[in-house]
């Protein structure tokens, strides 16, 4: 296979470029660019699989890291795809972009939506791509275990938070704000779980290959995106006029869970 002649970085970039090009064509046929959101998690699955194919067989810890990334990515994409399928309409963000760019949106979306997300995926994936391509040593087993547990805990938190929100939306009354479960401790438990996952992955990578400390930019980038760009900030701009949300903001931690 072609991927076997590449390193994990090249393999990851190649598989994402091909997949996103195909997805872009599908978005044109469906006139719905929000299909890209469902692909976000699955893109990391493809990067992990491409990296494994490129090196043959990664060492044990790198294999566990890749498995966690695949688990995280599949869960997230299934969750987002089911929501996209259920709603059946293009997300308002892409509708606004479509109006802004007019008749040029079809080709501009390749760069402003699909290529941009591809670059972000690849950057966030750098730590585990590096781990797959290395033969690290488990010199700090407790640190490795703690980091892997943190990553798994992040998946669990994100899954529970998404499930609680999904159930709430089925029965919520007008003006009602979710304040139960994990949502009682932070306004964005799903994004917190996501951030915890990626810092856990980075911690596991550095525990077996300390010289890869510089890849901290990847979880920091994800952290920044979730808190300030596409995650919490975007959602709070949308909800700030909702009845009862100002009180929820005042009494509940924005991101890091507060138990007191």
Of 68, 191, 171, which is closest to residue 128 (Cα–Cα)?
A: 68
Q: 33, exposed or middle or buried, with CB in 10 Å at 0-12, 13-18, 19+? A: buried
Q: Are residues 198 and 126 in the same domain?
A: no
- Assign residue 172 a region (left: φ > 0; alpha: ψ between -120 and 50; beta: otherwise): beta
Residue 135 has pLDDT above 80, yes or no: no
Q: pLDDT-based confidence at 2, cuts 50/70/90? A: confident
Q: Name the domain boundary from 106, 135, 164.
A: 135
Backbone angles phi, psi at 177, to 5 degrees: -120, 135
Percentage of residues in the chain having pLDDT higher than 70: 99
Handedness of CA 172, 176, 180, 181 (dihedral sign): positive
Task: Give the per-residue pLDDT at 17.
Answer: 97
Do 7 and 80 lie in one domain? The reply is: yes
The 8-class DSSP code of residue 255 comes to S
Look up residue 88 and give its DSSP letter. Answer: -
Q: Are 200 and 224 in a shared domain?
A: yes
CA distance linking residue 77 with residue 84, whole number of Å: 10
- Domain shared by 93 and 187, yes or no: no
Cα 166–Cα 170–Cα 176 angle in degrees, nearest 5: 95
Query: Which residue range forms the structural domain that includes residue 84?
Result: 1-135
Dist. CA 224–CA 81, nearest whole Å: 24
Let me know whether 131 and 182 are in one domain.
Answer: no
**Quick count: other Cβ atoms within 10 Å of Cβ 11?**
27
126 and 9 share one domain: yes
Task: Work out the number of other CB atoms within 10 angstroms of the CB of residue 22.
Answer: 11
Are 172 and 247 in the same domain?
A: yes
Q: How large is the greatest C-alpha to C-alpha distance in the chain, in angstroms?
A: 57
Last-in-domain residue among 93, 114, 135 = 135
Verify that 103 and 159 share a domain, yes or no. no
Sequence-ordered alpha helix ranges (H) in 56-140:
60-87, 92-101, 105-109, 116-132
Average pLDDT of the residues in 224-253: 85
Q: Mean pLDDT over all residues of the chain?
A: 92
Closest to 127 (Cα-Cα) out of 41, 204, 54, 227: 204
Same structural domain for residues 153 and 244? yes
**pLDDT value of position 3:** 82
Cα 250 to Cα 216: distance, rounded to the nearest angstrom:
32
Q: Provide the pLDDT confidence category of residue 1 given band limits of 50, 70 and 90.
A: low
Structural domains in the chain (count): 2
Q: Are residues 108 and 145 in the same domain?
A: no
Indicate the pLDDT class of residue 231, thresholds 50, 70 and 90: confident
Same domain, 38 and 62: yes
Q: To the nearest 10°, report the CA torsion of 30, 32, 35, 36.
A: 120
Domain boundary among 101, 135, 169: 135
Least confident of 109-113, 118-122, 256-260: 256-260
């Amino acid at each position: 296979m072609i991927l076997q002649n590449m390193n994990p970085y090249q393999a990851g970039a190649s598989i994402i470029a091909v997949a996103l090009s195909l997805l872009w064509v599908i978005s044109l046929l469906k006139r719905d660019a929000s299909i890209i959101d469902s692909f976000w998690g699955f893109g990391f699955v493809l990067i992990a699989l491409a990296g494994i194919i490129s090196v043959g067989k990664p060492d044990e810890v790198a294999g566990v890291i890749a498995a966690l990334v695949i688990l995280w990515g599949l869960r997230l994409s299934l969750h987002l795809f089911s929501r996209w399928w259920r709603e059946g309409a293009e997300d308002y963000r892409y509708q606004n972009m479509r109006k802004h760019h007019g008749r040029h949106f079809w080709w501009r979306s390749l760069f402003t939506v699909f290529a941009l997300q591809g670059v972000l995926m690849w950057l966030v994936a750098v730590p585990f791509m590096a781990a797959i391509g290395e033969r690290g040593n488990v010199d700090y087993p407790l640190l490795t275990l703690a980091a892997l547990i943190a990553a798994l805990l992040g998946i669990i938190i994100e899954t529970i938070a998404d499930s609680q929100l999904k159930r709430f939306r089925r029965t919520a009354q007008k003006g009602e704000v979710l304040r139960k479960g994990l949502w009682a401790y932070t306004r964005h438990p799903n994004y917190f779980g996501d951030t915890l996952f990626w810092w856990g992955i980075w911690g596991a990578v550095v525990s077996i290959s300390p010289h890869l400390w510089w890849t901290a930019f990847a979880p920091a980038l994800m952290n920044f995106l979730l808190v300030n760009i596409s995650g919490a900030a975007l959602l709070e701009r949308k909800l700030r006029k909702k009845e009862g949300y100002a009180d929820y903001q005042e009494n509940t931690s924005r991101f890091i869970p507060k138990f007191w």
